[in-house]
């Protein structure tokens, strides 16, 4: 037999190992593994510096923004969706944020559980620990093995790899800014709103010195020329404007030229019909020249889409992407 002293020491070490292993897999507000290491070996991602250089200096390169991550191939707003987008070479990910009862930010589009995650009830009435007990639901309605990610987890996964457009963020800025500070991610963030210049400055303050702010141009703007000019001639020249094009004869269309004169990018959403005059992803799947080609013809060089892979293939075929 082993000496008693040795047996007790071995037993103590074994207990510690078991407890430590269980702790790592417990459901908590922390990721189970370093999410930065989730990208695949075969990733075509070229890194954030390459993306920022294209954004600033190559308007012929049409950038792709993936709506809710790669939600058609992975649960929307999930870490696997983010990882797949990074690996595919997408430059921008659009993610949705919700605030929990204990003031934690999670990635979730809906206000309530049930459609994209198990459970029920509104996010704002649930704690992070309670939400971490739930599982994400895929496009096919099947429950997956993925948990609801926090904004911090998503940002750490994307760090140094892609730009992140945070949707539903305007009223969550005090909490968002803390996470951006903690993760060192301000330089990779896009914020898109339709507010006037004064409201924008009051809402975001000094954060505008670091993030990429994208003003939205909508037909409800009383004076579109003045609205655009107020940003272009400010200290926060945004370098990109998002155009909401409701119809073929939309009054916003003539103002695309005003944005192009200063070399700013044009963001067009082809997910929603009323934002691209009906030239949607669905149209593009049958006739890409009539969908994405129309958006590019109007000056679009950032396109928000649900069909990122197919859009990137189309762009390469017309020499608008390398």
Beta pairing partners, 192: 214
Give the span between the Cα atoms of 177 and 262, in whole angstroms. 29
309 close to 321: Cβ distance less than 8 angstroms: no
Half-sphere exposure of 208 (CA within 13 A, CB side): 23
List b or e across 110-125, with b for residues whose CB sees 16 or more CB atoms inside 10 angstroms. eebbeebbeeeeebee
Give the span between the Cα atoms of 79 and 216, in whole angstroms. 28
Q: Can you give the length of the chain in residues?
A: 322
Q: Angle formed by the axes of helices 79-88 and 151-158, to 10°?
A: 20
Residue of 316, 312, 306, 322 lying closest to 94 (CA atoms): 306
Give the span between the Cα atoms of 26 and 305, in whole angstroms. 36
Beta pairing partners, 143: 137
How does DSSP assign 198-240, residue by residue?
HHHHHHHGGGGGTSEEEEEE-TT-S-HHHHHHHHHTSTT--SE
62 close to 321: Cβ distance less than 8 angstroms: yes
Q: Which residues are catalytic, by number? A: 67, 109
């Amino acid at each position: 037999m082993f000496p008693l002293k040795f047996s007790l020491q071995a037993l103590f070490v074994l207990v510690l190992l078991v407890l430590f292993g269980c702790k790592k897999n417990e459901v908590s507000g922390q990721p189970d593994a370093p999410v930065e290491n989730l990208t695949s070996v075969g990733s075509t991602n070229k890194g954030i510096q390459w993306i920022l250089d294209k954004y600033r200096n190559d308007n012929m390169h049409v950038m792709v923004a993936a709506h809710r991550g790669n939600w058609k191939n992975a649960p929307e707003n999930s870490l696997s969706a983010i990882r797949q987008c990074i690996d595919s070479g997408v430059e921008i990910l659009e993610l949705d944020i919700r605030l929990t009862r204990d003031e934690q930010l999670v990635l979730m589009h809906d206000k309530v559980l049930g459609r994209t995650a198990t459970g029920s009830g509104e996010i704002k009435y649930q704690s992070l620990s309670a939400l971490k007990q739930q599982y994400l639901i895929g496009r096919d309605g099947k429950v997956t093995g993925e948990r609801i990610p926090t904004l911090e987890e998503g940002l750490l996964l994307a760090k140094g790899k892609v730009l992140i457009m945070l949707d539903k963020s305007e009223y969550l800025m005090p909490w968002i800014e803390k996470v951006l500070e903690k993760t060192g991610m301000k330089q990779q963030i896009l914020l898109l709103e339709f507010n006037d210049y004064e409201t924008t400055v009051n809402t975001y303050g000094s954060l505008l010195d670091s993030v990429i702010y994208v003003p939205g141009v909508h037909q409800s703007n009383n004076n579109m020329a003045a609205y655009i000019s107020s940003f272009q001639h400010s200290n926060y020249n945004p370098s990109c404007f998002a155009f909401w094009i409701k119809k073929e004869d939309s009054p916003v269309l003539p103002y695309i030229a005003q944005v192009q004169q200063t070399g700013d990018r044009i963001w067009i959403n082809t997910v929603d019909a009323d934002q691209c005059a009906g030239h949607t992803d669905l149209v593009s799947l049958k006739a890409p020249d009539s969908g994405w080609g129309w958006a590019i013809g109007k000056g679009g060089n950032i396109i928000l889409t649900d069909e990122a892979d197919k859009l990137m293939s189309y762009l390469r075929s017309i020499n608008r992407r390398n």
